[in-house]
Amino acid sequence: MSKSLSHVFLPVFGGTALVLAGALVFANRNFGQSKIEILETRIGQVEAHAAAAQEKAKTEAARAAQLELKVQEIQAAAAERVANGANLTAPAPSHEGTYGLGRPALEEEIAAWDVDVLPDGRGLPVGSGDVWTGEEVFADRCASCHGEFAEGVDNWPVLAGGFDTLANEDPVKTVGSYWPHLSTAWDYISRSMPFGEAGTLTADETYAIVAYILYSNDLVDDDFELSNENFAEFEMYNKDGFVVDTRPETEYAEWRKEPCMENCKAESAVTMRSVFLVETPPEGGSNSVMNDATVEGLPTFTADGPSFIPAAAPKPEEEAAAEPAVQEAEETDEATELVAAGAKVFKKCKACHQVGEGAKHGTGPALNGIVGANAGSVEGFKYSKAMKAASEAGLVWTDEEMAAFLTKPKDYMKGTRMSFAGLRKPDDVEAVIVYLKSFGS
């Protein structure tokens, strides 16, 4: 007599369920183990950084002690010479043909000045720096001129981007898009930066800043570490965009001759104008615009001088009359000025956030109507655990809370994914908040 189908399938289904449950437990266990390993690795990295920093502090303290001892020795020697009747301020003895000043430089003195770095890595000191350290140093020492994301501030140069502009008539030449050798960036930063504090960066800080600039140009990942060992291996985006200048050998001899000064033209004329004009926008900086003017009406030139001197076009009376009213309106409309200033400061935020019509989520959420709204309330954006917790706690983005967050995001909200270091100037914070309010609140 045959068995019932239920007697056959029930054991099979039951066994399958047991196998699936076991697989799920095993997968969860593996996931937890992987998470633990990642955390252990990260802790190891932090401990390594802390140990390196401690060792560096010890080295610098020992160096300071040596210098202090050297100063004491020099002062003691000078005091001894004075006690023995020597005149420390007497003029240097004169020698025939020379002033008798100075001495040959010592090898160690020459080595101290020999700090140039070549494209193949020659001249680099021993050291290293990673992207995350570079972000912190850049925010502290460089961002006031070059922006938090190397986007440039006011007239200070932009250091990132411009890759798709090199073929344009007005290309954006940045470290990432244009410079052919990484050594140029390292050498220049080490010698000349930060502005007004040249030479104060350590070798490790310089490596870290260069690594962060590469990261800002999307040329490396966030776990990249630059050192004297891998420096020469890195190839820049525009390394093949330059050629060796052979004009001294191939061309100069053709036109470096005595001018004939005969059969010269009796009259010369301007045949074209500059393609571009540089204008200064109201908010500062410079902007290249097309020059639509023609050569008509320009003078010709002879040995006696120009045929005439063009007169400046008079400013329309109505435009001149309107200027005081416009200036007066700008002085009284403080809110408008703050919105304009906020738009300028918000350029630091555009890499992650959008505002205005059609704004979409990016690395960060769209910020329309953010001022006055509950934290973590923008629909469609996946917030960090820290922001979700703040939302559940009832945090509202009032002017005061928003100002505190924008000043130092990481200190204000531990665990936030927002990597922005913060706005240092209270005026910038106020301007950004007013600017955000112009998109709803």
Encode pLDDT of 126-155 as tens digits.
999 999 999 999 999 999 889 888 888 888
Confidence of residue 30 (pLDDT cuts 50, 70, 90): low
Q: Which residues pair with 305 in a beta bridge?
A: 302
Residue pointed to by tokens 């003078």: 299
Nearest to 276, CA basis, from 266, 289, 285: 289
- Would you state the CATH architecture of domain 115-233? Orthogonal Bundle (1.10)
Whole-model pTM: value is 0.41
**Token duo for residue 315:** 């400013």
Confidence of residue 251 (pLDDT cuts 50, 70, 90): confident
Judged against a pLDDT cut of 50, whether residue 5 lies above it is answered with no
3-state SS class at 84 = coil
Q: What is the mean pLDDT of residues 71-95?
A: 76
Phi, psi (5° rounding) for residue 375?
Answer: -65, 140
Give the span between the Cα atoms of 397 and 431, in whole angstroms.
16
Mean residue pLDDT across the chain: 81
Half-sphere exposure of 324 (CA within 13 A, CB side): 4
Q: What is the mean pLDDT of residues 190-212?
A: 93
Asked whether the CA dihedral 180, 183, 187, 189 is positive or negative, the reply is positive
Q: Indicate the range of 218-227, 236-245, 380-389 predicted with least confidence.
A: 380-389
State residue 2's pLDDT score. Answer: 46
Q: Indicate the range of 42-46, 53-57, 406-410, 419-423 predicted with least confidence.
A: 419-423
State residue 1's pLDDT score. Answer: 45
Give the span between the Cα atoms of 287 and 284, in whole angstroms.
9
Give the span between the Cα atoms of 129 and 152, in whole angstroms.
22
Domain map of the chain by residue range? 8-80, 115-233, 334-437
Judged against a pLDDT cut of 90, whether residue 214 lies above it is answered with yes
State residue 195's pLDDT score. Answer: 87
Structure confidence by residue, pLDDT tens digits, 411-422: 888 878 776 777
Q: Indicate the range of 2-16, 19-33, 61-75 predicted with least confidence.
A: 2-16
Q: What is the mean pLDDT of residues 2-30?
A: 52
Judged against a pLDDT cut of 60, whether residue 37 lies above it is answered with yes
Structure confidence by residue, pLDDT tens digits, 261-293: 788 888 888 888 887 777 776 666 667 777 777
Can you say how many angstroms the Cα of residue 146 is from the centroid of all Cα atoms in its chain? 5
- Residues of the chain with pLDDT > 70, as a percent, come to 82
Judged against a pLDDT cut of 50, whether residue 3 lies above it is answered with no
Give the span between the Cα atoms of 329 and 327, in whole angstroms.
5
Please indicate whether residue 393 or residue 258 has the higher confidence score (pLDDT).
393
Nearest to 269, CA basis, from 304, 318, 307, 229: 307
State residue 125's pLDDT score. Answer: 92
Structure confidence by residue, pLDDT tens digits, 310-347: 776 665 565 555 556 555 555 556 778 888 888 888 87
State residue 9's pLDDT score. Answer: 45
Half-sphere exposure of 58 (CA within 13 A, CB side): 6
State residue 353's pLDDT score. Answer: 86
Judged against a pLDDT cut of 90, whether residue 367 lies above it is answered with no
Listed in sequence order, the DSSP H helices in 84-130 are: 107-113
Q: In what order do the strands lie in the sheet with 268-269?
A: 268-269, 300-302, 305-306
Class of the domain covering 334-437: mainly alpha
Q: Indicate the range of 42-46, 72-76, 160-164, 279-283 predicted with least confidence.
A: 279-283
Please indicate whether residue 21 or residue 237 has the higher confidence score (pLDDT).
237
Spell out the residues 6+ positions from residue 310 whose beta carbon is closer than 8 angstroms to its own.
297, 298, 299
State residue 325's pLDDT score. Answer: 56
Give the span between the Cα atoms of 327 and 26, in whole angstroms.
72
Give the span between the Cα atoms of 169 and 342, in whole angstroms.
30
Judged against a pLDDT cut of 80, whether residue 106 lies above it is answered with yes
Fold equal for 115-233 and 334-437 = yes
Q: Indicate the range of 34-38, 64-68, 166-170 predicted with least confidence.
A: 34-38
